[in-house]
Amino acid sequence: MATTESDDDSSNEWSQLAQTYQDLFVPRLQPLYDTMAHYAVKKIQSNDTKGEYQLLDYGTGPGEPILTILQQLTTNHLYNVKLQATDSSRGMLSLAEERLRKLKNPYLTVNFSITHDSSNTNDYDIITTSLVLPYASNQGQMLRDIFQQLKPNGLLISSHWPHPEQVPFLAIIKRIIKFMATGERIDKSDLESNVSFCCWPEEITRSIFVTEGYTIEQWITVDLPMPFPDIRTLLSLARPFKWFRDSSLYLEAEEETKRILREDFHLELQSNESFELPSKAVVVVASK
């Protein structure tokens, strides 16, 4: 869930949300990053290329899955790889670079950059991109660009949300943002036609990958428990909105969230205000 087109930091929502995104999502999405890293490591373990492997993480956000890949490579003593990552948000990249420094890895590093030349051909053995492709303004073109950049037999390892009903935490955030902006309550079913939700059902995903020349090697559904200590933590992704910072407006948003949890998800908060919203993501491993 990172920006894929350049933007000025002053208006770059992702840069504003970088720290919140890292705190809120990175630990909760770790099973997803672990799965993507597993298939990247497996490719490198196959030793199917001469010389050094080239890996690019496109739309890396605060450094995922590239930093999980780095750690898994180190655990498996695999150092014959050059790691690169790119994102259009300077705020996100700053967090990624800080996380890399804290790892103090003596064997591998990551070259982070805000720009990336998509016109290069046959450059990479592996390209990873997590929760980015469905948000692209031209998804087919992005897949074509990635296909062009992959070496023969190279792998694209991507992830996406499968369906609004399988991503309840994101559905609730979107419904609250809409409610606070307009006073309108939108039904869960309305999210299926909401372009901004950016879910990719299986039939659509398989079709677009095959159309652009890929062979789908693996299709993995990843379970994400998504626990939250309280409602404010869940809604913190809406931090840039005025209502989040206004105590009386925020209470209105919190009450609406409780109603949605109770009526649509049949959930009541625990005595300590915590709750869990089990979600799912899909990892697609596709070869050129």
Low-confidence winner among 66-70, 172-176, 193-197, 255-259 (lowest mean pLDDT): 193-197
Residue 11: pLDDT above 50?
A: no
Domains annotated on the chain, with CATH: 1-162+200-225+279-288 (3.40.50.150), 169-196+230-272 (no CATH)
Q: What is the mean pLDDT of the chain?
A: 90
For residue 3, what pLDDT is reported? 47
pLDDT tier, 191 (very low <50, low <70, confident <90, very high otherwise): low
Give the tens place of pLDDT for each residue, 208-251: 999 999 999 999 999 999 999 999 999 998 988 999 999 999 99
pLDDT tier, 10 (very low <50, low <70, confident <90, very high otherwise): very low
Give the tens place of pLDDT for each residue, 18-58: 788 888 889 999 999 999 999 999 999 999 888 899 999 99
- SS3 letters across the chain: CCCCCCCCHHHCHHHHCHHHHHHHCCCCCHHHHHHHHHHHHHHHHCCCCCCCEEEEEECCCCCCCHHHHHHHHHHCCCCCEEEEEECCCHHHHHHHHHHHHHHCCCCCCEEEECCCCCCCCCCEEEEEEECCHHHCCCHHHHHHHHHHHEEEEEEEEEEEECCHHHCHHHHHHHHHHHHHHHCCCCCHHHHHHCHHHCECCHHHHHHHHHHCCCEEEEEEEEEECCEECCHHHHHHHHCCCHHHHCHHHHHHHHHHHHHHHHHCCCCCCCCCCCEECCEEEEEEEEEC
Residue 196: pLDDT above 70?
A: no
For residue 194, what pLDDT is reported? 57
For residue 5, what pLDDT is reported? 47
| Nearest-angstrom CA–CA distance, 125 and 51 | 11
User: Once rounded to an integer, what is the mean pLDDT over residues 142-160?
Assistant: 96
For residue 120, what pLDDT is reported? 79
| Nearest-angstrom CA–CA distance, 126 and 147 | 11
Give the tens place of pLDDT for each residue, 52-104: 999 999 999 999 999 999 999 999 999 999 999 999 889 899 999 999 999 99
